[in-house]
Chain A
Amino acid sequence: MPTLIFDQSIPGRRGVTIPASGVPERDLLELLGPELLRQSPPELPEQSELEVVRHYTRLSQLNHSIDTGFYPLGSCTMKYNPKVNEAVARLPGFADLHPYQPAEQVQGALALMYDLQSWLGALTGLPHVCLQPAAGAHGELTGILMIKHYHRHHGNRRTKVLVPDSAHGTNPATAAMAGFEVVTVQSNERGLVSVADLKAHLDDQVAAFMLTNPNTLGLFEEDILAISQAVHEAGALLYYDGANFNAILGAVRPGDMGFDVVHQNLHKTFSTPHGGGGPGSGPVAVSERLAPFLPVPAIVRRPDGSYALDFERPLAIGRMKAFFGNFGVLARAYAYIYAHGHEGLRQVSRDAVLSANYLKARLGDAYEVPFAQSCMHEFVMTSDRQKAQGVNTLSIAKRLIDFGIHPPTIYFPLIVHEAMMVEPTETESKEELDRFVEVMLQIADEVRDTPDLVNSAPHTAPIGRVDEVLAARKPNVRWRKPQTAR
């Protein structure tokens, strides 16, 4: 069994000492009352500081991470997380600020947020920005709710949201969560939105079309201007999923393409760490017509140059979370943009696109690449050829682990069989890219010569493949204190 922190508990041991209250104490039963006073304390661990530190340090060593190895995980933009970002976010002048402090005590924090808003506005071409959403999907929900309120405000009760068949799962999930019916638009043979199918679905019940551009195949939607025109002519709005924004930083702007709302993933494009699943930050940027519907409060600059929170937004959709957003993540993104500047960010997208195309060119002989045109920051290949030799994508992905490389995103997008979606990002050296190519070519050889070796991978990881069926059939999702025999 893995040793849980609970298993090591010894009654009476402690990891910290707590000061005495230093005031005359009253009986807790009297203060809190018999109805709510807890009878027995929660079963938390009882451990010394060293034991806790060792337990979690050892656990950390079981993880793959950007700082320990290549992470070509498509759609996730696992770029390097600069350390200066971490240092600045921890400054007491940021970390020890309370959201309800008087505005005059937090002018630096508000200035940071105001500048970040304007920078994201410049990068997206949509000038009105709200930093409140806590993650990409949260930004999506914010944007789609704004669209709902916008149509309602104009006397329309549109019921449908269109999403491409290649969309991230969050798109249909978001639309449904906002009370819309989800309708899927087909891709064409080039992996792009079928404009004809889109037009066939556009009617006066469509509230919005959600699109990622470049799409989840890493392909730029070349017909974007025709798409935008068709969507707007139907009275619908165009939603930009910013998951792939790293491809177009400074190269093209969603606002110029005709999008009405975009969410950003600061934990992808703007280098804030993924944290093993979060926290993220999902600011939304919108056009003039959606601006009145942004969540409250807005951060504004007064004529005297001071910053303030503005709650007077009568059409605002409300709030998406308490307070103002994941500020600590915003501070990191600020540092990232400030370090790169406009010329640096333009180089980011150029190098991301160059690296993806380079890998695609070098791997195109050994693996099938279903869409031949040049890609943006990521590309999709398949193991159709390898599957014919008895090895599927899952096994190839697991074999990569033996070489210290994180598997690509697999079996996504859903429209490509045996898909492997590779996103190297701009922060990997050419030497690392070349090593990845060598490993992928070696695995292709192994599939031909020693398929069992691949099918039984990984061999060097802390554990082998997991019985996920057992986990789902007989869920064991928590520790319980063993019952002592009476």
Chain B
Amino acid sequence: MNDMNLKFSKSHEYVRIENRLAVIGISQHAADQMGDVVYVELPQIGKAYSKDEEFGVVESVKAVSSLYSPVSGTVSAVNAELLEHPEWVNSDPYGKGWMLKLEMTSPTELDQILSQEQYDAEVSSH
């Protein structure tokens, strides 16, 4: 299912473009590996990140993982509802489980990250 036109980083974040904004979250595979997500720590609106910079943290009961921005940009929105509903990261990572939206500063970076097919291959090889 790639009707969302998802792209992925090797550190398991996805990005999809919606109204020229980069919508970022973690892949279904990553969510499954974490187990039940209990908390997501997200940045403040207006903060700028470069590609591969840490922007937050996702926690399950027994694991914690840093989140890295797959592209460079400035935060224009965060999914504050995840504070109340962290389970959405597991149940609907590409939809209600999105984490933040970035105004990209270098949209060409999208060309450097993995397609769905490449990501699936990467994941299944491990």
Contacts and interface: CB of A to CB of B under 8 A. Distances in A.
Contacts of A468: 61
A473 B61 CA distance: 9
Nearest to B36: A469
Contacts of B38: 469, 472-473
A411 B61 CA distance: 14
Contacts of A469: 36, 38, 60-61
B55 interface: no
Interface in A359-377: none
Interface string B7-38: 00000000000000000000000000000101
Contacts of A472: 38-39, 59, 61
Interface in A404-440: 411
A471 to B, nearest CB: 8
Interface residues of B, number: 9
B126 to A, nearest CB: 14
Contacts of B39: 472-473
B81 to A, nearest CB: 13
B100 to A, nearest CB: 20
A411 B63 CA distance: 12
A374 to B, nearest CB: 31
Contacts, number: 14
A469 B39 CA distance: 10
Q: Is the interface of B mostly helix, strand, loop or mixed?
A: loop
A interface, how many residues as a size bin? under 10
A468 B36 CA distance: 10
A468 B62 CA distance: 9
Interface string A440-484: 000000000000000000000000000011001100000000000
Contacts of B60: 469
Interface in B53-100: 59-62, 86-87
Contacts of B59: 472
Contacts of B62: 411
A14 B61 CA distance: 40
B31 to A, nearest CB: 14
B12 to A, nearest CB: 19
Contacts of A473: 38-39, 86-87
Contacts of B86: 473
A207 B11 CA distance: 29
B108 to A, nearest CB: 31
Contacts of A411: 62
A473 B60 CA distance: 9
A469 B36 CA distance: 7
A313 to B, nearest CB: 39
A468 B63 CA distance: 12
B40 to A, nearest CB: 11
A80 to B, nearest CB: 31
B82 to A, nearest CB: 11
Nearest to A471: B61
A259 B85 CA distance: 49
Contacts of B61: 468-469, 472
B106 to A, nearest CB: 28
Interface in A280-338: none
A472 B58 CA distance: 13
A473 B90 CA distance: 13
A472 B39 CA distance: 8
Nearest to A411: B62
A313 B116 CA distance: 62
Contacts of B36: 469
B99 to A, nearest CB: 17
A469 B38 CA distance: 6
Which of B59, B61, B87: most chain A Cβ within 10 A? B61
Scoring B36, B59, B60 by chain A CB atoms within 10 A of each residue's CB, the highest score goes to B36
A420 to B, nearest CB: 16
A472 B34 CA distance: 14
A348 to B, nearest CB: 34
A472 B83 CA distance: 12
B4 to A, nearest CB: 27
B54 to A, nearest CB: 14
A473 to B, nearest CB: 5
Contacts of B87: 473
A411 B87 CA distance: 24
A315 B118 CA distance: 57
A468 B39 CA distance: 13
Nearest to B38: A472
B62 to A, nearest CB: 8
A35 B109 CA distance: 59
A472 B64 CA distance: 13
B57 to A, nearest CB: 13
Interface of A: 411, 468-469, 472-473
Given A469-B36, A469-B61, 12 more contacts: A411-B62, A468-B61, A469-B38, A469-B60, A472-B38, A472-B39, A472-B59, A472-B61, A473-B38, A473-B39, A473-B86, A473-B87
Cβ-closest 9 pairs across A and B: A472-B38, A469-B36, A468-B61, A473-B38, A472-B61, A469-B61, A469-B38, A473-B86, A472-B39
14 contacts: A411-B62, A468-B61, A469-B36, A469-B38, A469-B60, A469-B61, A472-B38, A472-B39, A472-B59, A472-B61, A473-B38, A473-B39, A473-B86, A473-B87
